[in-house]
Amino acid sequence: MIMFKKIIILSLLTSYLLIANGIRTINFAPLPMVKSQKLLEQYLPMLEYLEKEVSVKFNILYVQNYNELLNKLGTYQIDLSFLGPLPYAEASSRYPHIQPLVRFLDAQGKDHYTCTLFKLQDSPLDMQTLSNKNFALTQKYSTCGFLATQKILNDHNHSLTQNLYNFSGSHTNAILEVVLGNSDLGCAKSSIVHQYQHFGLKTLAISDPFPSFLLVYHTHNIPQKIINQIKEALMKLQPLSNSQDANTTQKWGKNLKYGVVEAKDSDYNTIRRLLQTIELPK
Amino acid sequence: MKQTIARLASQTSLMTKIAIPIIVIGISIGFLISQSIATLLEEHTTQSLKVESRNLNNKLFYLIEADFKALFLSYGKDAKRYEQAKKLSQQELLASLKNLFRSSIYDIAIITPQGTHWIKQSYTHDSILQSVNQHHKKATHLFDKHIINHSYFRPWKWNIVIIRDRAPIFELIAQNNTIIFQNISILVLLLIGVLIAIIYLTINRPFQKIFAHLATIAHDKEVRLNLTSSKEVVTLVESINAMSSEILTSHNQLIAQQAKIKRIMDIQPDILLLTNGESLQSVNASFFKFFDTFHNLEQFLAKHSCICDFFEKVNEEGYIYDFNHENWIEVVYHQPKISKVKIQKDGVFYTFKVQVEKFDQNNYVVNLNDITQLQEYQKELESKRDNLITQLYTDSLTHLPNRIRLIEDIKTTSNPLVILININSFKEINDFYGVDIGDYVLIEFADMINQQLPSKRAKLYKMSGDEYIILDSFLSNRVELIRRLNRLSSYLNTQTIIKESYTIDITTTLGVAFESSDLLISADIALREAKNSKLRFAIYDKSFETLKQYQNNLLWSKKIKNALDNNHIVPYFQAIVDNQNDTIVKYESLVRLIEPDGEVITPFSFLHIAKRSHIYHNISKCMIEQSFEYFNRKNMSFSINLSIHDIENYETHQLILNKLQEYQLGERVTFEILESEGINNYDVVASFINEIKKYNALVAIDDFGTGYSNFSHIINLQIDYLKIDGSLINNILHDESVSVVVETIIAFAKKLGIKTIAEYVDSKELYEYVKKMGIDYSQGFYISQPISKILESDTFLQT
């Protein structure tokens, strides 16, 4: 909380100085996947790079959850944001002025990711006995939260409505709930689950691939020229093939450091189709 | 002295009886209470220890979980670093827990995969830990005198065990238990002592007085008791006083009630007996009214041991017959069909309805209801009923069965055949010879028909007026039927009835019907057919036009009634023009019936049917009312059609006068009297015309020139217009003789100063012709069709 206050004060101070110098300030809000203290660690290096490449200044806004992020996108408080595929599909259906900019690659250069349904190794559960069980999920608008879990269960003729579930707040927390034995099963991004495998986690099912996380922008708030400059600055980096670029992105967050590809709105149609058959909880 | 000793003895006895069991119970209670307190203390202590140990365990669990979470979030992604950090963190954690819980009154052990770590150990041995089920996440259980609370921290496979030995606490409770028992027993005995004193002072002594008082109540004496030893005793004494009053009141009421019941029984008209069958126990006053030679039951019993001595043996249904002293009451009781006895007294037989009800195990209540008079009334009533039935089914004049009988007999006759016989011109016989002779003819003729019935099965019935019906069975042979009808008709038509000096020849017409759903209507239709065709008899055939007329009449009657009910009888208006200047001078109101589908029906379809019933007058009244009401709102002259029936009908007649009075439209209205129907009573018409002339109303003779035109009468009738019949106008152009007739009418009218109107003027040529002939007004389709509403702009201009 103290760190959060520091960010706000810093942001306000920066904004004031930038306005005084006539440089455009862009309000950036990342997806609340990690705790506030890690925000600066993950995003500041990338934003500093962009400030150098494009003559803008970034103001980082911390939002507590996905819902708040979506609301602020709708009320013009956020200019640029880092979103997962489900929040993007939801945001673009609500607000037509939200447009995709670039998609981020993972360490293997893939522009998509999966979610993993897991349990403890010593648990006797299998995909045939999934009713009246306790599920630890991430957040409502997290792709690996309700949406991916329900899709996996539906594919096996089950449903989350036959079970109990709670939103633990993040992928790490969902794993922690299972490790502590508070939940029978959990679902989180496969790459994160893999990192915690040594706690005795066992994969039960893996979802179909979802398009990777992306940067989105507010078409009314940022001039197209600046948007093009940001896109060019990010796309010219090839950290997986160019060591100099890899050096540039070395300190960037794991979700950001492996380069980008251009994002199209149609990339996220798979999510939209899923939303037609799966209703998110109120 | 002796009494005092006895009283003390009795009191001591009571006290002993009460006190000893109470002392025993008191000591037992003391023991049970002390035991219960001990048990409760043990249970309460155990429960408290369980809660405390669970809270302690949760505290430990939370500390371990917090440590783990910190490690998980910091190093969880890196297995190697996590394992290194975990080892150090666990050692640090165990050390800090030992320090933290060193003064705990609970023994605490953490069983890890590496071994057992005692966080605090005072008097617990390792062997107790073996009772812990290490797979349970959280549990509390008792082992020997130990409370063991256990939880399992899964990520590290640590079992946290909290132990508390209850033995010292239980020893302390046991030591105190004896003291508790002694104290409670003494307390209970003290209480009993106080209790006995209270019982003696507040209950025992007052009760002695109450018992003595209760003994006086048994002798129906009302003595009030006064005691004030305690509130409860006072309440009890008050209750007893109230009770004794109520007992005395009830006793008196019972006596009064018994007297009342005896009075009720005595005023019953029926004889009531209480008997066991053989001898009588009790009887009411009615018994002695009937058996008036006895004044009381003893006298009766001295002579008769059983009332059944008086019962006559009547071998009829409902009467008691096979009986003796022993069984008569059982016979009546068990056989409800036997409900009457006959008793002879002074040579007279009386009939009683007898009812027996069980009173108690041995006795019955017997009710003897004298129905002698009732039976006589019943016989009289049956006789009257028979007479009425005979009258209902019999013609009073000829004593033949009547129409009602016939209708019922037709239902039970196979292949019924009816022959309707009508005496021709019977009205003339009645008019000529008088009703008495007419009645005589009807009676005599009935005898004549009866002598010539067509078969042995045939039966004669008298219908209304001059009609008879023979009901027979049709034997499927039409030729034979015709032969018999011929014979019957010949016979009937050659009969002569002689009465006094008169000789009356009878002729008849027969209508015959069989194989028809309504034989009487069919026979009537056949009779009309025979009369219309001047036949002696006719056998009903479906093709008879009469039937169609019947059906048509029925249909139109129904339509007219519906139209009247729904205001669908309305006036239409046809213009009448002045032939001199071609301008409309008035409108004739013409009746129209509007069908539910909106079709407009002219009177030619229904008026002649309506005239046969009183519906016609309703149509007339409807037209008169609507016409007056309509033209009251228009500044126009108008005419209304009237038939002689309207003039003769009192209600219609009065309505016309009322409307003339009400609307004061006399100068604008013309009443067109239909002449074509024949006016027999010109006086009535003249009188009517005189009345309406008082309102300045005008009169026209409608359809003049056809049928019954009587010029001499017309002259006397103050006529204003003659409306020349349409059939004459229609032919005026083609038939010279018709033209001559019309010219004669015009000339006749002119001489009398009567205006003429030509109707059915449907062409320009005809219009010009009638104008040329000197007819004053014209009306017809050439001028205007009948319309439902008159517009002020309506004009007729010759083109």
Residues counted in chain A: 282
Which two structure tokens, joined as six digits, stand for B560? 């007219």
ipTM score over 0.90, yes or no: no
Per the listing, tokens 């093009």 go with: A228
Strand ranges across the sheet with B311-312: B280-283, B271-275, B364-370, B348-358, B340-345, B311-312
How many CB atoms are closer than 10 A to CB A92?
20
For B65-79, B586-600, B609-623, which range has the lowest pLDDT when averaged over its residues? B609-623
Question: Residue A199: its chain B contacts at CB < 8 A?
Answer: 72, 76, 155
Cβ distance A180 to B154 less than 8 Å, yes or no, reads: yes
> Which whole number is the average pLDDT over B761-790?
92
10 Å CB burial of residue B102 (0-12, 13-18, 19+) is exposed
**Number of Cβ atoms within 10 Å of the Cβ of B350:** 18
Count the neighbouring beta carbons within 10 Å of the beta carbon of residue B220. 11
In the prediction, which pLDDT does B337 show? 73
Integer Cα distance of B692 and B118 in angstroms: 137
Strand segments (E) across B262-339: 271-275, 280-283, 311-312
Residue A166 · residue A183 · CB < 8 Å: yes
User: Residue A36: pLDDT above 70?
Assistant: no
pLDDT above 90: residue B553: no
- At residue B602, what is the residue type? T
Q: Report the alpha-carbon distance of residue B311 to residue B324 in Å, rounded.
A: 10
Confidence of residue A22 (pLDDT cuts 50, 70, 90): low
Task: Looking at B566-614, list the stretches that DSSP marks H as alpha helix, in order from N- to C-terminal side.
Answer: 607-610
Please give the backbone phi and psi of residue B628, each rounded to the nearest 5 degrees, phi first.
-60, -45
The number of C-alpha atoms within 13 Å of A80 and in the hemisphere containing its C-beta is 23
Nearest to A221 by CA among A91, A44, A27: A27
In angstroms, the separation between the Cα of residue B76 and the nearest Cα of chain A is 6
- Average pLDDT, integer, range B140-154: 85
pLDDT for B451 beyond 70: yes
Token pair, residue A50, equals 């962009």
**What secondary structure does DSSP assign to B114-158, as a single string?**
TEEEEEE-SS--GGGGGG--TT-SEEEEEETTEEEEEEEETTTTE
B559, B760 contact by CB (below 8 A): no
Predicted structure pTM score: 0.43
Question: Would you call A176 and B82 a contact, using CB atoms and an 8 Å cutoff?
Answer: no
Contact A199 B77 (CB under 8 A): no
Q: How deeply is B244 buried, as exposed, middle or buried, from its count of CB atoms within 10 A (0-12, 13-18, 19+)? A: buried
| Rounded distance between C-alpha atoms, residue A115 and residue A144, angstroms | 5
pLDDT in tens, B598-633: 889 988 888 877 877 668 888 999 999 999 999 999
Q: B12 pLDDT band (50/70/90 cuts)?
A: low
Q: Is the pLDDT of residue B182 over 80?
A: no
Output B209 or B54, whichever has higher pLDDT. B54
Contacting residues of A for B68, CB less than 8 Å apart: 180
Backbone φ and ψ for B498, nearest 5 degrees, come out as -110, 125
pLDDT at A19: 44
Lookup: tokens for B644: 């002689």
pLDDT-based confidence at residue A7 (cuts at 50, 70, 90): very low
Tokens 């349409």 locate to B726
Least reliable range by pLDDT among A61-65, A146-150, B159-163, B475-479? B475-479
Mean pLDDT of B29-34: 78
pLDDT at res. B677? 62
What mean pLDDT is reported for chain B? Answer: 84
- Segment B357-384 shows an average pLDDT of 87
**What distance in Å separates the CA atoms of residue B148 and residue B128, rounded to the nearest whole number?**
9
pLDDT at position A35 is: 63
Residue B11: per-residue pLDDT: 52
Nearest to A181 by CA among B747, B158, B668, B232: B158
Chain B neighbors of A176, CB-CB under 8 A: 69, 72-73
**H or E element: which one contains B655?**
helix B650-663
Q: For residue range B662-698, list pLDDT tens digits in order.
A: 999 999 999 998 876 666 677 788 889 999 999 999 9
Phi, psi of B734 (to 5 degrees): -110, -20
Picking from A120, A172, A198, the nearest residue to B73 by CB comes out as A172
Kindly give, in sequence order, each residue whose CB lies less than 8 Å from that of residue A65, ignoring residues fewer than 6 positions away.
A32, A139, A169
**Chain A contact for B69 (CB, 8 A cutoff):** yes
**Count of A-B CB contacts under 8 Å:** 26
Count Cβ atoms below 10 Å from residue B651 Cβ, excluding itself: 12
CA–CA separation, B179 and B479 (whole Å)? 134
**pLDDT band (50, 70, 90) for residue A16:** very low
Q: Report angle CA B552, B555, B556 to the nearest 5 degrees.
A: 85
Residue of B nearest to A198 (CA): B79
Closest-CA residue to B112 (of B100, B129, B131): B129
pLDDT for B347 equals: 83
Q: How far apart are CA B137 and CA A181, in angstroms?
A: 9
Question: Measuring CA to CA, how many Å separate B758 from each of B338, B571, B767, B769, B797?
Answer: 92, 21, 9, 11, 17
pLDDT of residue B546: 56
Residues B194-210: b if buried by 16+ CB within 10 A, e if exposed: eebeebeeebbbbeeee
Q: 3-class secondary structure for chain A?
A: CHHHHHHHHHHHHHHHHHHHHCCEEEEEEECCCCCHHHHHHHHHHHHHHHHHHCCEEEEECCCCCHHHHHHHHHCCCCCEEEECHHHHHHHHHHCCCEEEEEEECCCCCCCEECEEEEEECCCCCCCCCCCCCEEEECCCCCHHHHHHHHHHHHHCCCCHHHCEEEECCCHHHHHHHHHCCCCCEEEEEHHHHHHCHHHCEEEEEECCCEECCEEEEECCCCCHHHHHHHHHHHHCCCCCCCHHHHHHCCCCCCCCCCCEEECCHHHHHHHHHHHHHCCCCC
For residue A198, which residues of chain B lie inside 8 Å, CB to CB?
79, 82
Q: Hey, is B317 helix, strand or coil?
A: coil
pLDDT digits (tens, 9 = 90+) for A173-216: 999 999 999 999 999 999 999 999 999 999 999 999 999 999 99
Hey, is the C-beta of A198 within 8 angstroms of any chain B C-beta? yes
Q: What is the model's pLDDT at position A3?
A: 46
* Helices B231-267, B205-217: crossing angle, 10 deg rounding: 10
Testing the interface with A: which of B72, B82, B83 to mutate, by most A Cβ within 10 A? B72
Residue B168 pLDDT grade (very low, low, confident, very high; cuts 50, 70, 90): confident
pLDDT of res. A75: 84
Asked if A205 and A116 touch (Cβ cutoff 8 Å), the reply is yes
- Indicate yes or no: CB of B72 within 8 angstroms of CB of A181: no
**Nearest-neighbour CA in chain A from B102: distance (Å):** 28
Say which residues have a Cβ less than 8 Å from residue B136's Cβ, sequence separation at least 6: B150, B152
CB B515 within 8 A of CB B544: no
Which of A171, A196, A201 would best serve as a mutation to test chain B binding (most B beta carbons within 10 A)?
A: A196
Which chain A residue's Cα is nearest to B154? A180
Nearest C-alpha of chain B: how many angstroms from A260?
A: 25
- Residues of A whose CB is below 8 A from B79: 198
Q: Looking at the predicted structure, is the pLDDT value of residue B421 above 90? A: yes
Q: Is B3 helix (H, G, I), strand (E, B) or coil?
A: helix
Task: Give the model confidence (pLDDT) of A84-138 as tens digits.
Answer: 999 899 899 888 889 999 999 999 899 999 999 999 999 999 988 888 999 999 9
Cβ count near B472 (within 10 Å): 23
Chain B hits for A175, CB-CB cut-off 8 Å, are 76
Instruction: Grade residue A15 by pLDDT with cuts at 50, 70 and 90.
Output: very low
pLDDT at B218 over 80: no
CA distance B374 to B384: 15
Render pLDDT for B395-418 as a digit per residue (tens, 0 to 9).
Answer: 989 999 999 999 999 999 989 999
Q: Which of A179, A180, A198 sits opposite B79 (nearest CB)?
A: A198
What does the pLDDT look like over B111-125, one tens digit per residue? 998 888 988 888 767
pLDDT-above-90 percentage for chain B: 26
State the DSSP H helix or E strand holding residue B44, giving kind and residue range, or none if neither: helix B2-75
pLDDT at B16: 64
Instruction: Tell whether B154 lies on the interface with A, counting CB pairs under 8 A.
Output: yes
Q: Does B155 touch chain A (CB under 8 A)?
A: yes
- Examine the pLDDT at B432 and tell me if it is beyond 60: yes
**pLDDT of res. B228:** 64
User: Which stretch of A202-211, B136-145, B472-481, B785-794 has the lowest confidence by average pLDDT?
Assistant: B136-145
Q: Do B154 and A198 touch (CB under 8 A)?
A: no
Verify whether the Cβ–Cβ distance B137 to A172 is below 8 Å. no
The mean pLDDT of B147-176, rounded to a whole number, is 85
Using alpha carbons only, give the angle B374, B379, B384 rounded to the nearest 5 degrees. 120
pLDDT band at B24 (very low <50, low <70, confident <90, very high): confident
Task: Report the C-alpha gap between B323 and B290 in whole angstroms.
Answer: 23
pLDDT in tens, B491-531: 998 889 988 888 888 999 999 998 878 889 889 988 988 88
Helical H runs in B319-434?
Answer: 328-334, 372-393, 403-412, 426-433
Cα separation, B286 vs B271, whole angstroms: 5
Q: Mean per-residue pLDDT for A227-245?
A: 94
Q: Band of the pLDDT at A20, cuts 50, 70, 90?
A: very low
